[in-house]
Structure 1
Amino acid sequence: MAERTLPADLQVDLIFPQNDTTYAPTQWFPVVFGVKNLDAVWPMGISLSVYVIENEYSKIRRGPDWKYELASLNFANALNSTMPGEYFSHIAAVNMTNGTTSSYTVGWELDIRHRCFDNGTDRKEDGPWDGWSNSPNGHAHRAIKFHTAPGAQLPDIEATANSCLEPGVGYSTAVRVTKMGETHWKYPAETCPWLETDIKPSKCAFQPVAKELAANVSEVILSKMRCKEGSWQTITAPCPREKSTASSLYSVGVGLALSFVFALCNLLSI
């Protein structure tokens, strides 16, 4: 089990797609988050909710069933990560098989389930919820918009991570964990952090791992398309399913059985 290294700044960036950018539609379109210092603050109740909606639809033309995902960010992310050091990634994917020219919104929210306060209280005075969220006004998700159109630029995760944009409200957040305590109003007690919430996210936080991040995305998307190799940006259909050995043996067995029955019927008819 890893040991906390506090104080530490937990930073989460929506790396891809970028706001107000047009991309060529792909069969599976990735929504890529970078997470920094998760290992330094774990264990702690952290979740990341993500949704993608198509903006251009009407009652006549129903919008597609886009992804909504609530992911628990925990040490399993660190153990399963192929990213170096304190860097981790979370990758959601939207099935955009029929995507052509359209506009989309990505909304996301980072939540910490419980929070401790220096004055000895455990809850916010204005309500029963005792956690923290990066929501800009306490209710709405942070959001960006992007577009798709045939012939537009292909998604490039490595180039995007290397572009080193200034952290923005829609796609970057950071919070400093200074120390940890326990809730006393819940049984069993749960961990709760002391937080500094006026932290400015670091610029270029994920530039050092741009190549590894792109490789992670490629692995996830190719797996969803059942492909072992190729460029996920240009693959337009899932790769054929591989026939398992068991299925092949079953087919051979059925064929032999039918041959035996056919031969037996011929013998009985003589």
Structure 2
Amino acid sequence: MFPSNIAACLLLALSIGWSSAQNLPSIAEVDLLFPRNDTYAPTVLMPLVFGIQNPSAAVPLHLSLWWNLWQLEGGNMTGYGVIPKAYYIPTGARQYYEYSSFYDLTTIEGTWLFQWHVDSVNCSQFPANNYSMGSYTQGKRIIFTTKNGAQAPDLVTATADDVCASAEGFTFNVTGLEKVSIRSPDNPDGKDSVTTCADVVPMSPTYRPNPCAAQLNATGASSISLALTTTACWLPSSVVSCPAKSAGSLKGQLGGPIWAVATFGWLLYSLVR
């Protein structure tokens, strides 16, 4: 379990984060910012970064981001993860970032197939039933390489003006919101939970995604790098270089839950701008 003060902070972030008051229609966008179809030096903490544009509109989509990583030389899946229902923070934020790392997976030279897909809801197409909201899945894949002597992963370079437009992503045209009641079969008191579900229609053929709007500057990239290192330092047997004081104290408090976070790619941190 999380210590009570950390759990309280997470709940507060969720409670203040989003209001159902929206200017509709509104377009949300999910972009894969890193890795790209490129070659990088092997590293313990290869970043995995998604940019979510117009996060307030994305909340009722109930996004889940799934991924797996394969080393093509051996044909083996080396890692996988899920980012379930991201913690969208303040209303009015233009960008929101979800991130993790391929912790201890890309430390050798190789060619890697990265597959990712986005689960989202659309109550106009998949109406909610008593137990769930229907989910729609879209997926993409990229191949990247690790090679000794290549460039180190650089989030600023990967989202720079000359390359940002080629980032892969998905857009969602949210035209309405519906209040739905979901009944959990495991709920002992039999009460329904009420949530908001998005109505989504196809994008206009003339619309063009804008992944460049999710560019990372040096401050944002440094914040993500620090967060990934700190998360890895919470592991009981971290393979990264960690400050002894912070690593030791955090391991003692959160060693169990954070091991799962770092290993499977679930995210504790978010960066908003």
Pairing partner for 1:177 from 162, 174, 179: 174
Decide whether aligned partners of structure 1 residues 176 and 197 sit closer, same or farther in structure 2, where only a CA change above 3 A counts. Answer: same
Answer yes or no: is 1:226 the counterpart of 2:233: yes
SS of 1:221's equivalent in the other structure is helix
Partner letter of residue 143 of structure 1? R
Q: Distance in 2 between matches of 1:211 and 1:30?
A: 15
Could you tell me which residue of structure 2 aligns to residue 261 of structure 1?
Answer: none
The one-character-per-residue Cα deviations of 1:154-202 (angstroms, maximum 9, x if unpaired) are: 111011112453655x821111111111447965554322212335311
Letter in 1 for 2:170: T
Q: Match of 2:154? A: 156
Q: Choose from 11, 17, 42 the match for 2:35.
A: 17
Alignment of 1:90-239 (within 5 A): 90-96=98-104, 99-117=107-125, 122=127, 130-133=134-137, 135=138, 141-165=139-163, 167=165, 171-183=168-180, 188=193, 190-198=195-203, 200-207=208-215, 209-226=216-233, 237-239=240-242
The whole-number CA distance in structure 1 between the counterparts of 2:193 and 2:243 is 49
Specify which structure has the higher proportion of strand.
2
What number of residue pairs does the alignment pair up? 212
Residues 164 and 35 of structure 1: CA distance in aligned 2, closer, same or farther (over 3 Å): farther
Percent identical: 22
5 Å-filtered alignment, 1:72-83, equals: 72-74=84-86, 76-78=87-89
Alpha-carbon distance in structure 2 between the residues aligned to 1:51 and 1:189: 32
2:180–2:197 Cα contact (<8 Å) kept: yes
- In the alignment, which residue of structure 2 is the partner of 1:241? 244
Deviation string, structure 1 residues 12-60 (Cα, Å, up to 9, x no partner): 11111111x11001111111111111123424422111222211116xx
> In 1, distance between residues paired with 2:67 and 2:27?
22
d(CA) in 2 for partners of 1:95 and 1:31?
10
* Structure 1 residue runs without a partner (length 5+): 136-140, 228-235, 248-270
Cα contact 1:164–1:204 (8 A) shared by 2 = no
Give 1:98 shift: 6.8
Identify the residue that residue 50 of structure 1 maps to in structure 2.
Answer: 67
- Kept after mapping to 2: 8 A contact 1:10/1:175: yes
- TM-score, structure 2 normalization: 0.65
Aligned AA (1:107): Q
Shift of 1:220: 2.0
CA deviations on 1:229-260 (whole Å, 9 max, x unpaired) are xxxxxxx843363366xx9xxxxxxxxxxxxx
Distance 1:111 1:219 in 2: 28
Q: Contact 1:225 / 1:238 at 8 angstroms: preserved in 2? A: no
Task: Compute the displacement of 1:96 (Å).
Answer: 3.1
Q: Is the 8 A contact 1:11 1:201 kept in 2?
A: yes
